[in-house]
Amino acid sequence: MGYRKVYDTLNLTTGLGINHKIADNVYNIDYGFILNTYIGSTHIVSIHFLYGQSDRPEPGAKTEKQGESEKEILFKKYYDKASSDYQVENYDTAFTEIKKALNIWPKNYEGAKLKNKIIAGQIFAEGKELYNEKDYDGAINKFESSLDMDGSFKKAQEYLSKARDAKAGLELLEKEEVKEEKEEVKEEEKVISFCTECGKKLPKKDLKFCPYCGKKLK
């Protein structure tokens, strides 16, 4: 509500205004009284109604489009940084950046997709360390988990194949070593002594001469 009184050279003007807002609707009633020396007293009444929300933003306020644009720009900044770090296998740094991006735009599909790839990369890096330590079982588990997150991860596929081959080769080597050990034990069981001349192992039976060098045995 407001009260106005204005003077000019000869006229006196006074008025009363009432402004009332309900939700997004505005009701305005304005009354004015003019005392004019030529036309006499004059009354002016105006009624103004405004329904619905105005499209005009308040001073200093951002429009929805401006807000969306700034959101997209900031999201893209963190997303691009995360993508660059992922490409050079800086998975931990990439994960920090993609978290920032998704905090701005949580339901962004591309952001969520990149996050899964980065997590797959982190798991792959753990598996690669185990592979280098020759812990092939542990490495295989990590590479499989990495591929569960990102089935198209080529490096994880390659290292999974290498780890499986290495594990199979190691198992084969262990079997061969066990077999050789068993054969050596059997050979030792047949030997009772060595020839003092040539040092050869002598079979387990009574011999008068060394079958290798011909030296007479005691």
Question: pLDDT tens digits, residue range 137-161?
Answer: 999 999 999 999 999 999 999 999 9
> Residue 164 has which token pair?
């499986």
List, as one string, the DSSP characters of 125-151.
Answer: HHHHHHHHTT-HHHHHHHHHHHHHH-T
Confidence of residue 6 (pLDDT cuts 50, 70, 90): very low
Question: pLDDT tens digits, residue range 28-52?
Answer: 666 666 665 655 666 666 776 666 5
What does the alpha-carbon distance between residue 132 and residue 154 come to, in Å, rounded to a whole number? 18
Confidence of residue 172 (pLDDT cuts 50, 70, 90): confident
Among 52-61, 81-90, 189-198, name the one with the lowest average pLDDT. 52-61
pLDDT at 18: 61
The dotted CATH code for 66-173 is 1.25.40
> Residue 139 has which token pair?
């490495």
Contact 201/183 with Cβ under 8 angstroms? Answer: no
Contact 124/153 with Cβ under 8 angstroms? Answer: yes
May I ask the CATH class of domain 2-50?
mainly beta
Strands 25-36 and 12-22: antiparallel
Q: Quote the pTM value.
A: 0.53
Among 18-22, 191-195, 213-217, name the one with the lowest average pLDDT. 18-22
Residues paired with residue 19 on neighbouring β-strands, in sequence order = 28
Say whether pLDDT at 208 is over 80.
Answer: no
Residue whose tokens read 């006074």: 14
Contact 216/197 with Cβ under 8 angstroms? Answer: no
Confidence of residue 3 (pLDDT cuts 50, 70, 90): very low
What does the alpha-carbon distance between residue 163 and residue 147 come to, in Å, rounded to a whole number? 14
What does the alpha-carbon distance between residue 136 and residue 60 come to, in Å, rounded to a whole number? 62
What does the alpha-carbon distance between residue 166 and residue 127 come to, in Å, rounded to a whole number? 14
Say whether pLDDT at 53 is over 70.
Answer: no
Confidence of residue 200 (pLDDT cuts 50, 70, 90): confident
Confidence of residue 198 (pLDDT cuts 50, 70, 90): confident
Q: In what order do the strands lie in the sheet with 40-50?
A: 2-7, 12-22, 25-36, 40-50
Mean pLDDT across the stretch 178-193? 63
Rg of the chain (C-alpha set) = 46
CATH 1.25.40 boundaries in the chain: 66-173
